[in-house]
Structure 1
């Protein structure tokens, strides 16, 4: 049913509009500096001109920093909550699709589902733990989500090469492979730069974090093709599989 393509469309739309709206609000309220700004100071106490833009470490436009202060923090939490829920649904539905079309890759698909669930949980934790007050939990959730997402994208790309669902895998597989490479390298560079103390490196970390988010939104949009062939009865396979596993254990 074509109806199910609403899930990847909703995820990409909500996460894209929500994240950039949070950035816009933070920028308008002078809580962060623009992404195209590269000039930072150690302190703004000696700045005589209050109308002049003064940027410190606290104003580097990380996605987390954009969602720290009011009023944008509420939209930040809502965006991540909605995104993590939709992403979890998407992972479950994709697993059911694999079980229906290529059950021989069920184990690989379960591994992908596991990393997808961990990704969604990490994003949920990051969204509900404000980095201004619960910094450790927020960054732990974000780190788990970013790393798990790389593994999820890698396994899904492998399944795209091996499993035939839509008949357009010869187009989807290369696209997802490129997106997965971008995601993986951006994650590595983000972590490396985030751990530095220089302003330039931290600003680069912010840029790579935004690349991560945008690339994820693009990656999820590729699910539109596969979800065009999804049908509700496929979800019954998840229940059926559990029943079969229980009967094997009891026997």
Structure 2
């Protein structure tokens, strides 16, 4: 007990540090423009000494990890983050099953959305948007949408399950994080499809906001994982008298 708080902490740290390190590398190699930049051109002159920003330099998370050498770190970060998020989803479901089995069905739905979100992020992180555009955006869209459902369901479970005794404090905080995640995702999608550079840049800011917001949401689960025990994983494979299939089937 207490050891497992390392999971949400590492998940948050890997995603936060990794993605912003990728952004820093992309900025240093002039592959993207800073988030503080709002001036874009239709094209750049070959003898331009200043950094020239076009639609290809909009600092989205994906474009920050498109070019060498930062694309290697980008893929490694997304792969590690996706795997840790998958483990996070399964372990949290095991905690619910052990301590509040009456909410098992809702928790299972949440776990499915979380696992699909992790798979979508994995696809997006390993399909370079410069080469495999359709797969990259399909994976990213799947991840963004499923994360909204996942955070909503986990917030609902916070109000239903007494896992820590801190739910009266955690629940309103997670409502805020979930509301931001859903609303910003909607606005992000609206601005992302616009052709104007100004709106593209706003969508990039929204995308980074979504990333940081999700990491803070995950970090709030330090409370639950403080009370988590590896013995709880056994409930995932246990066959109850009234159930024939496995919990994860």
Give the TM-score of the pair, scaled to structure 1.
Answer: 0.95
1:152-191 alignment to 2 at 5 Å?
152-191=150-189
Query: 1:232 Cα shift?
Result: 1.1
1:122 corresponding residue in structure 2: 120
Q: Tell me what 2:36 maps to.
A: 36
Aligned equivalent of 1:206: 204
Q: Which runs of 5+ in 1 are unaligned?
A: none
Post-superposition offset of 1:51 = 2.2
Query: Aligned residue for 1:12?
Result: 12
- Distance apart, 1:243 and its partner CA: 8.6
Where do residues 65-214 of structure 1 align in structure 2 (5 Å cutoff)? 65-214=63-212
Which has the larger helix fraction? 1
Matches within 5 A, 1:197-236: 197-236=195-234
Partner Cα distance (1:31, 1:5) in 2: 36
Answer whether contact 2:38 2:198 (CA < 8 A) is retained: yes
Superposition deviation, residue 247 in structure 1:
6.5
Unaligned segments of structure 2, at least 5 residues: none
Residue aligned with 1:233, SS: helix
Listed one character per residue, the Cα deviations across residues 116-162 of structure 1 (whole Å, up to 9, x for unaligned) are 01100000000110111101100100000000000000000000011
Secondary structure (helix, strand or coil) at the match of 1:150 reads helix
Please tell me the root mean square deviation across aligned C-alpha atoms, in Å: 1.4
